Copies of this chain bind each other. A is one copy, B any other.
């Protein structure tokens, strides 16, 4: 019996002739256990003229059986195929698909996933050599998530027509989703496999507005069919995430209900329930049942706690400006500011995504086309990522600080004025708090550690409030120089720590084991 490693793809091709991208047929999958629980349906998708396939991602070890039949006719003679395979141990380093857990993420096997994403919107629409270069760059980078478009992109620095489109066109020039272009989808498969090899989650953006070809203006019927095709073909990759849109409000031909329809369709048709989000330009899309996390475009990183409270979902700042030197305000952060936004985001309880936009006459910008990176933020982002992965419970059990009176006393020493200030804070909308000249705590912590980031501020010392029931080792961290210096052992209670009074400092307090 064919062997498939856990979380890998079992694919069954079969000859069939029909005029549709998604076959009006189903594949029933069941795992042979003590009971037959866990059976589910997947659709077949056209690979090329006369050839369809189904893909199955086994999520438990053991024997699987499947049957493929025309939809609605399970009892009829039209069953095409039956088969079985055995799911064996996963390949090294595979942990399954990423799912949410509280305000963070874990793989199927429970391993933590801390998203450290980057952005190469149209990389799969570039010449093959450039795509390979992108893969090689990603291999050497720290990034474990990639925002990418399925449709080609048209905007400044992205003005080329791609070599192939996902579909052919009908008689009136409209895109016909049923005319699958194999070269496009085979290449996409290749790139998803490569990302999978690199341990990178593919955050697939299904629709976006930067379009001159008409993909953003397909009918709702065609758009839904396209989403169904994506599910049938791509959901079996454990490393796929669904992002309904880049800047959903900018797609003028779609309304709020259209987006909800895509989300509901994904929720219904994707048997693996991959992560689903929708990215905005101004107003976050209202919370829906299909939404697994907030994918936010904003420079207002201090809003993260408010969004987490409102949506009760993890928050990814998937766009907060890109490191670079473009003429556009969204694409000319200094490397320091890109790094600052990562630290700021994680210490406000979210996760951040990188992008790079250095002006080039050949218009090959990492953010648009991939290639190589030219910036200075990536090693610093790696430094942060490695630090966070060291922290037990980080990403799945962190608690987050709030605004407090910087001059105020704590606990029993609180004065009436302190309580008055705290009441003011509680009754003030978050958008007014972001301008507050008080201390905005950028801190995440658990019982065993706290990580505090000082952002662009330049304190020459700071006070830590450490629990009385432990003793702590204190590190002073320079986020730009990537240095970590232990300055104190055995700290307890209110502790003063000297700092070098320049931007980009952090302090880590870690509970010591042997006290």
Contact = CB atoms under 8 A, between A and B. Distances in A.
A292 B416 CA distance: 33
A414 B252 CA distance: 15
Interface in A138-161: 155-156
Given A209-B417, A417-B252, A420-B250, A437 B359 contact: no
A230 interface: no
A434 interface: yes
Contacts of A321: 437
Nearest to A340: B456
Interface string A222-260: 000000000000000000000000000110100000000
A249 B440 CA distance: 19
A297 interface: yes
A328 B433 contact: no
A163 to B, nearest CB: 24
B435 A334 contact: no
A32 B459 CA distance: 60
A407 B156 contact: yes
A190 interface: no
Interface in A266-294: 281-283
A381 interface: no
- Among A332, A333, A406, A436, find the residue whose CB has the most chain B CB atoms closer than 10 A: A332
B325 A434 contact: no
A154 B462 CA distance: 21
A462 B328 CA distance: 8
A463 interface: yes
Contacts of A333: 456-458
A321 B436 CA distance: 9
Nearest to A334: B458
Interface string A301-324: 001000000000000000111001
Contacts of A300: 432, 434-435
Nearest to A298: B435
Contact of A334 (B209, B320, B461, B503): B503
Interface string A494-515: 0000000111000000000000
A330 interface: yes
A460 interface: yes
A420 B155 contact: no
Given A156-B407, A281-B436, A299-B434, 15 more contacts: A249-B424, A250-B417, A250-B420, A282-B436, A297-B437, A300-B434, A329-B438, A329-B439, A329-B440, A330-B439, A332-B458, A332-B459, A334-B503, A337-B503, A359-B460
User: Nearest 7 CB-CB pairs, A to B?
Assistant: A300-B435, A431-B431, A298-B435, A329-B439, A330-B437, A325-B501, A325-B460
